[in-house]
Chain A
Amino acid sequence: MNAKILTKENLLSFVQNLIKTGEVVGVTKKDGKFAFDHLKRASDLVLDYDVTLLPPKKYVMPQRETLIKFNVKPEVKVEAVVEATPFTLIGVHPYDLKAINQLDRLFEENHVDTNYMKRREQATIIAVTPTRASKWSFWSSMNSIFVETGFDLLLTDIGGRYAVEIGTAHGDELLKKHAKFEEAAPADIEKLESIRSALPKMCSADRKINALTHEMTAILEIHRKSELWEKRAEKCYSCGSCNLICPTCYCFDVKEEIDLNLKDGSRYRVWDGCLLEDFAKIGSGENFREKRADRFRHRFFRKWSYLAAKLTEPACVGCGRCSSVCLPDIADPVKVINELKEEK
């Protein structure tokens, strides 16, 4: 293992230098919790957070993104739009990075999503090893603690100083250009390794799915007709909260809007969610998943079966956000999968 060492001071000046040279987004405090936001000063950056309200996905797949601009008068004109400018994302936890890596694959396969790929190319990602886990997180069960790719740099707090692992040549260049660092001593590497080996135990003991990831898929398949879906869905608000905070949900709706001059307009996409009642409603008024239970079950099958077949791993990274935002407490994958496993 190879790493550089940044003192806390040097990390701060590194971040401050990045802010001076471009757009930087980092984890900041928000109303007693944490959120990725535009970073004004390096001192606003929080690296010892548990989980952010929304995942950093919002920067590679914005909530609202213009796709084309058009004019209808005096003549019809259409222009494709790609909104992508360089930015650095600091403080991404491995589970959220794993989710972005999955999105990269999904948006690239078959028909390449130009808007996503162009934006993604503009992102520099500085990941950070978690120092604590939210009480809902279950990333240990989803193999999302360690990521090999996706980051340009990976920071780990080794006790007052940061070990920096280099993921890409771009990351290496950034560090050399903007940071004052030292080479890691053998004792630093030892510390880094001991921190890493303790990570699987960071999620609390009751946040464990009692199955390996491929077994989870099989458990769902066997229990497709379980009463659990209907029973839990009785309490579902169809509010889509579990979709909208999810780092791997990537469904969107495409809409158009005309300006008040009734001449110019744009087509844009916005986040959608399969739990929302109108998600599978089509032009004729037909709704393919009209019942709450159908929508509720679909989310699990989408993540653990349909996308798992494409990705060869479930499209869940165990961040625990869906479990934490669900007021009636029905959406938690840990409880759902463990309960299904216990069923005959």
Chain B
Amino acid sequence: MTKPKVAFFDFASCEGDQLQIANLEEKLLELLEHVEVVSFREVMKEHSDDYDIAFIEGSCTREADEARLKKIRSNAKIVVAIGACATIAGINALKNTRPLDQVRKEVYGDNAKWYETYAARPIDAVITVDFKLHGCPIRGDEFLALCKALLTGQKFVVPDYPVCAECKLAENVCVFEKGMTCVGPVTRAGCGACCVTQGAVCWGCRGLVDDPNKNAHKEVLDKYGLKAEEVMNKFNLYFAYQGGPK
């Protein structure tokens, strides 16, 4: 069997998800027994447009990105969106909550007119995406799990329950009991509640679960003393594209 050819692409992002993959080191070498990487600018110079699987990092933030995305889609048999910017528009979508002209002027100053921009969107708002690897950044082991599923023809399963479940399994004290708040109760798990385990809170980087109880969570945040604006900020950091409570 010939090895499937794999290529990596990036749009508006920090390329941190590809860095997670590069950081797999020995495991990446083991994966290369089964796949051929034809394009991956973080680790190699070569590039080819002949590939089977395209991993795309980053959000689509301007019309010009669309043509490039469509070309990748037509070249690849399988397209995978990797990282929050690609799966849910990530923190790029924060700008969608404000007038775009103003945002552009803040970033580019006098040169604003030279830089095209539109509301940030996830990759599947432009092209069909076959799989999503969530997170900011993605988890190396979840990337490998998807690769193994594709190579063996198994179903790739992404958790569809809130981070709270994994927080309980990690035996964490709930951040709400420690005088903090988080959006774990509406955020898709799969991260092992790593941020809370490390003493922080859940910011929602894996996006909302399929059926999030946003209104219940808004009520809980109200009850724990957050002002309306603070509640919206909580929801907007990662869910600006997906939408907050009504």
Contact = CB atoms under 8 A, between A and B. Distances in A.
Interface of A: 30-33, 35, 53-54, 63, 234-241, 244-245, 257-258, 260-262, 271, 273, 276-278, 292, 325, 327-328
Contact of B152 (A32, A236, A240, A258): A258
A327 B152 contact: no
Contact of A239 (B31, B33, B185): B185
Contacts, number: 87
A56 to B, nearest CB: 12
Nearest to A256: B154
Contacts of B161: 238-240, 276-278
B169 A278 contact: no
B165 A327 contact: no
B168 A245 contact: yes
A278 B160 contact: yes
A296 to B, nearest CB: 12
Contacts of A327: 164, 174, 176, 185, 220
B219 A328 contact: yes
Interface in B106-159: 144-145, 148, 151-152, 154
A57 B169 CA distance: 12
Nearest to A36: B171
A239 B165 contact: yes
A33 to B, nearest CB: 5
B173 A244 contact: no
A296 B115 CA distance: 52
B171 A53 contact: yes
A230 to B, nearest CB: 14
B210 interface: yes
A237 B30 contact: no
Interface residues of B, number: 35
A325 B174 contact: yes
Nearest to B28: A260
Given A32-B173, A236-B213, A327-B176, A260 B144 contact: yes
Given A30-B171, A54-B171, A260-B144, A235 B165 contact: no
Given A237-B185, A260-B27, A262-B148, A276 B173 contact: no
Given A236-B216, A238-B161, A63 B169 contact: yes
Interface string B156-195: 0000111011011101111010100000011000000000
A235 B213 contact: yes
Contacts of B165: 239-241, 244, 273, 276
Nearest to A255: B157
Contacts of B95: none
Q: Lowest 4 A-B CB distances belong to which pairs? A: A239-B164, A244-B168, A239-B162, A235-B216
B166 to A, nearest CB: 9
Contacts of B168: 54, 240-241, 244-245, 325
A96 B34 CA distance: 48
